[in-house]
Structure 1
Amino acid sequence: MSRFSDLDGLGFPELSPGSVWLVGAGPGAPGLLTLLGYHALSQADAIVYDALVSPDLLALGNPQAERIHAGKRGGKPSPRQADISETLIALARAGRRVLRLKGGDPFMFGRGGEEAGALFRAGIAFRIVPGISSGLGGLAYAGIPITHRDANHSVLFLTGHDETGEVASLDWEAINRAAPVLVMFMSVKHLGTITSRLMAAGRAGDESVAIVSNAATPQQSVIETTLAEAGALQDIATPAIVVVGPVVAFRQTLDWYAPEMRSNRLG
């Protein structure tokens, strides 16, 4: 029996008029939203949301809240980051209860730090509500543990491009030495370049790679390949998380998110 009604008396912190909560929506499934995030959805009267936030999750929000799309997608028309921050500031100064709803976690390659910094400089009260990053929860839905004591004791998170949209200038040899498992965000566009640089820096071409698209949603798909072959793949569905390393092999036994389970839209 559900006991969600018991949450009403727990005394959640108030989303006050004139303040902004930056909330991580999780990797895809609405059921992976945190309790604080769920509370913010019910309290907000202005919801500024990312492109990757699902309609099912938005539907859980205050029905009277204004919903403002502020999605940024690579290669597609997107609002400027400065404009998004100014929207948050303007809404808060108008006395609104503002929820900035961001896919995954606000601070994991999500520009949450930039938005929080803009709020600080504007004198706007804010709260950060972490979310489940797609680099964690999304891979878990694909049956891939990012750490396993039989495979790795470290993991490295990377973004596939810098602020210019090009492949970041990184020390690829140091990256290879740093961790046996790499988790790469926003890397599909430059996957050929990235895999070539990793191999040129000494990483084996036969190393396992998994590409998890639309993670933790009914549309989730997974491609298993190798580092040498990944760069030649075409028409990879996005958004996607790419993981390199021995943990990919655990999908053979841990791939639990079967097709018959996907009819539940909460996850």
Structure 2
Amino acid sequence: MSLADAITRLPFEPVPFEPGHVWLAGAGPGGLGCLTLEVVSALSLADTVIYDALIDPAALRAAGQAEHFFVGKRGGKPSTPQEEINRLMVDQARSGRRVLRLKGGDPNTFGRGGEEALALAHAGIPFRFLPGVTSAFGALAAAGIPATLRGVNKAVILATGHAAGMPDDLDWAALARTGQPIVIYMGMSNLEKITAALIGGGLAASTPAAVLMSATTADERVLVGTLGDLPRRAREEGFGSPALIVVGGIVGAREALLRPREEGTRP
């Protein structure tokens, strides 16, 4: 049975996408396999697609004759101001178009989905969230790292690292004291500050840690090391954004999980 046949057999009835509405959707970490059926359906119905830098352009093929607007935001590079993105969504909706705002990961996990929804609500524009596979869990799964593992952790902390060292930064020492794994978004430019703060907060330099770059895509790279050596190794091996930083015992489980697979492939 083909994939198309399998999909047609599913009792899936998409919610009507009305003109003048905006749907805030998540496309997952990057690989097309992480697109949800609901997001693919929304792409096929949209008149306007407003998309970010981490979206695989191939995903836009599902959008048919929709008009595409690229509004990518990448740290350290020219990007579309958030106010301009808000204005574009409102203007397109007011012109009677069905607007799909497509974001990497999940729109409400460090994706400014809530901010954009507030802008739409203030403008009187109907909107809806379409969840996506958040980058943290998609990247962990692709790298063979379980997000939770009995006997290792009882929680997972998702944090943003873009403000490391700034006055409004997180209390990294407090996060370190939880003893729970931490998955850090947007932290590569501050990797040395973050690892130093976590070690200063009580985590051992030998704590397992990893960098997951371009997760779920053909360019995916995984660097596994320790909290103490991660900045040096990431620099030497050319790791950069887009990437997630993972700290904690769940990283240490990866070797044991992948070993049987690797041994099974030996001649």
TM-score of the alignment, normalized to the shorter chain, above 0.5: yes
Residue 62 of structure 2: SS of its match in structure 1?
coil
**26, 29, 34: which is aligned to 1:27?**
29
Q: How far does residue 198 in structure 1 lie from its aligned partner after superposition?
A: 0.8
TM-score normalised by L of structure 2: 0.90
Distance, in Å, in 1 between the alignment partners of 2:165 and 2:116 is 19
Contact 1:85 1:118 in 2 (8 A): yes
Task: State the partner residue of 1:264.
Answer: none
| 1:29-75 CA distance string (max 9 Å, x none) | 1121111111100000100001000012122222x100100110000
Q: How far does residue 6 in structure 1 lie from its aligned partner after superposition?
A: 3.3
> Percentage identity across aligned positions?
45
Q: How far does residue 166 in structure 1 lie from its aligned partner after superposition?
A: 4.9
Distance, in Å, in 1 between the alignment partners of 2:166 and 2:84 is 22
Q: How does 1:132-211 map to 2 (within 5 A)?
A: 132-162=133-163, 166=166, 168-211=168-211
Q: How does 1:68-79 map to 2 (within 5 A)?
A: 68-79=69-80
Q: Are 1:240 and 2:240 counterparts?
A: no
Q: How far does residue 167 in structure 1 lie from its aligned partner after superposition?
A: 7.9
Contact 1:160 1:167 in 2 (8 A): no
**Matched residue type, 1:118:** A
User: What are the ranges of 5 or more consecutive residues in structure 2 without an aligned counterpart?
Assistant: 262-267
User: What are the ranges of 5 or more consecutive residues in structure 1 without an aligned counterpart?
Assistant: 259-267
| 1:219-249 CA distance string (max 9 Å, x none) | 1000111111112231313200110011112
Q: Are 1:16 and 2:18 counterparts?
A: yes
**Which structure 1 residue ranges, 4+ long, deviate > 3 Å from structure 2?**
164-168, 253-256
Q: How does 1:27-66 map to 2 (within 5 A)?
A: 27-62=29-64, 64-66=65-67
User: Using a 3 Å threshold, how does the CA distance of structure 1 residues 124 and 255 change in structure 2: closer, same or farther?
Assistant: farther
Q: How far does residue 252 in structure 1 lie from its aligned partner after superposition?
A: 1.4
**Matched residue type, 1:248:** V
Q: How far does residue 172 in structure 1 lie from its aligned partner after superposition?
A: 2.1
Distance, in Å, in 1 between the alignment partners of 2:167 and 2:216 is 27
TM-score normalised by L of structure 1: 0.90
Contact 2:165 2:193 in 1 (8 A): no
**Matched residue type, 1:46:** T
Contact 1:185 1:241 in 2 (8 A): yes
User: Using a 3 Å threshold, how does the CA distance of structure 1 residues 207 and 168 change in structure 2: closer, same or farther?
Assistant: farther
Task: State the partner residue of 2:264.
Answer: none
| 1:188-216 CA distance string (max 9 Å, x none) | 00000111111111111010111000000
User: Using a 3 Å threshold, how does the CA distance of structure 1 residues 246 and 18 change in structure 2: closer, same or farther?
Assistant: same
Distance, in Å, in 2 between the alignment partners of 1:238 and 1:185 is 10
| 1:102-156 CA distance string (max 9 Å, x none) | 0000011000110000000000000001100110011100001111012111111
Distance, in Å, in 2 between the alignment partners of 1:167 and 1:55 is 37
Residue 60 of structure 1: SS of its match in structure 2?
helix
Q: How far does residue 165 in structure 1 lie from its aligned partner after superposition?
A: 9.8
